[in-house]
Amino acid sequence: MLNDFFVSVFTEKSGGVPNVVNTSRERVSLEDRIHKEQVKNHLGKLDVSKSPGPDEMHPRILKELIEEVSEPLAMIFEKSWQTGEIPEDWKRANIVPIYKKGNKNNPGNYRPVSLTSVPGKIMEQVIKEIICKHLEGNKVIGNSQHGFVKNKSCQTNLIAFFDRITSLVDKGEAVDVIYLDFSKAFDTVSHDILIDKLGKYNLDRATIRWVHNWLDNRSQRVVVNGSKSCWKGITSGVPQGSVLGPVLFNIFINDVDIGIESTLIKFADDTKLGGVATSLEDRDIIQNDLSKLEKWSEVNRMRFNKEKCRVLHLGRNNQFHTYKMGSDCLGRSMAERDLGVIVDHKLNMSQQCDAVAKKANMILGCINRCVVSKTREVILPLYSALVRPQLEYCVQFWVPHFKKDVEKLERVQRRVTR
C-alpha cells in the first residue's frame, strides 16, 4: 500500500526525450577526475552505521577493505563516466517510510527515504563535486536559496528574510508574509525539465548524460521490518536520501524567483514570499507575484498544496488582505513554524521561548526518570547532547527580548545545576 501511494505522486514522463548532448560545452577530460585516491578518500568517510541498499553491500565492509577496493571502484566509476552507463543496482532503492505526524494509517503522513547502493553513492559524490564546482564557479544558484548551499543554513535564511521584514514593520509599514507549500516537491521533479535546465546552466555533456541515465528507469520497493513490497518504476523526482538529490533539486527550483518583485527566500523547497502591504498597489504586487509562482508551478509540473499555504499579516495597520493562487483563497495564520522556529504576528518570539522551554524541560524530566546516577559526569554530557541543542537552535534569530522569556530559559539551565 505504501509503495502504491509513493509512486502515485510521480509525474508522468513527457513524450519527448531531452537532448542530453546538445549543450554548449564539450565533454570534460577525465584526467585527474576519478582516481584511486579520490575514491579512497570517500571510502574513508563512510558511516559504518548506515544501512546498505538493495545490493546488500555494507559500508563497513567497503571501509575495512579500503585498500583492496579503491582501485577497482575507481576503474568502474571512470568507465561509467566515459560511457554514461549506470549499473542497475545503482538505480534501485529500498524505501524506508519515515513517519512525520498525523494519522499513522494515512500513507501521506510518511516521507519516503531511499536506501541506495553504497558504491553508487560514492559515484554520486564524485558527480556532485563536479556539479558543485561548476555551480559555485559560475554563481548559478541564486542568493535566495539557503538549503544545501555552502555557508548557508536555516539560521541565515531566517535572519536574511526577517531583517528585511522587521525593518519594514519598524517603519510603520504593513507587511504580508506568504508561506508556500509544494506538494511532494522532491518526488515530482520532472526529469526531462531538470535535464534541460542542466544544459541551460552549461554543465558539460558527460555530466548531463550521466545524470540523465542515473535518473532514467529507476525503481523502488518499500521495506518495513524485513517485509518487502514488489518493485515499482519511478517516473519523476530526485531520490530523498541520495547524495545528488538536494543539488539537483536546487538546480530545478533555482529559477522560481525570476521576475518576482517581492522578497522571496528558500530553504530547499521551503519557500516564503514577503512584501509591503500598506497600499492597494503594494498588495497587487504580492498578488501578481503569487500568480507568477502559480504559472511557474504549471510550467515545471509541480504543484502547490494550497490548503497548507498560509498568510501571516504583520504591522499595526494591516488590512488582512485575502490573496489567491489560481482560484483558491489562501488562509490566514496567527503564527507559523518557520524552519523549526515559531514566528507569530507580533514578532516577539514569546511563543518560541515557551515551546523551547517546554521541550527542554520534558527532556530533562525524562533524564531524571531514566538515569539513576545524578553525578556531574553523567548529567552534563546528556545535557550537552539532548537539551542544549534545543536552547541554541537558531537562537541568534529568536533571542528573547522580554525578561519573562529570559527567565523561562534560565530556569531550564538552573534545573540542570541543581
Residue spans per domain, the chain: 1-12+27-140+189-242, 154-183+254-340, 349-417
- Read off the C-alpha cell for 410: 534560565
pLDDT band at 19 (very low <50, low <70, confident <90, very high): low
The CA distance from 67 to 44, in Å, is: 10
For residue 41, the one-letter residue type is: N
What DSSP string runs through 134-162?
A: HHHHTT-S-TTB-TT-TT--HHHHHHHHH
Which residues are bridge partners to 196 per DSSP? none
The Cβ of residue 362 has, within 10 Å, a number of other Cβ atoms equal to 12
The mean of the pLDDT values for the chain is: 92
Least confident of 26-40, 53-67, 169-183: 26-40
pLDDT bin (cut points 50, 70, 90) of residue 375 is confident
Assigned C-alpha cell, 338:
518557520
Q: For residues 382 and 6, which has the higher predicted lDDT (pLDDT)?
A: 382
Instruction: Return the pLDDT at 15.
Output: 53
d(CA 135, CA 132): 5
Distance CA 207, CA 82 (A): 10
Tell me the β-bridge partners of 111. 98
- Beta bridge partners, 110, equal 99
122 vs 4, higher pLDDT? 122
Pick 210 or 18 by higher pLDDT: 210
d(CA 353, CA 405): 6
C-alpha cell recorded at residue 17: 526525450
Dist CA 170 CA 77 (whole Å): 56
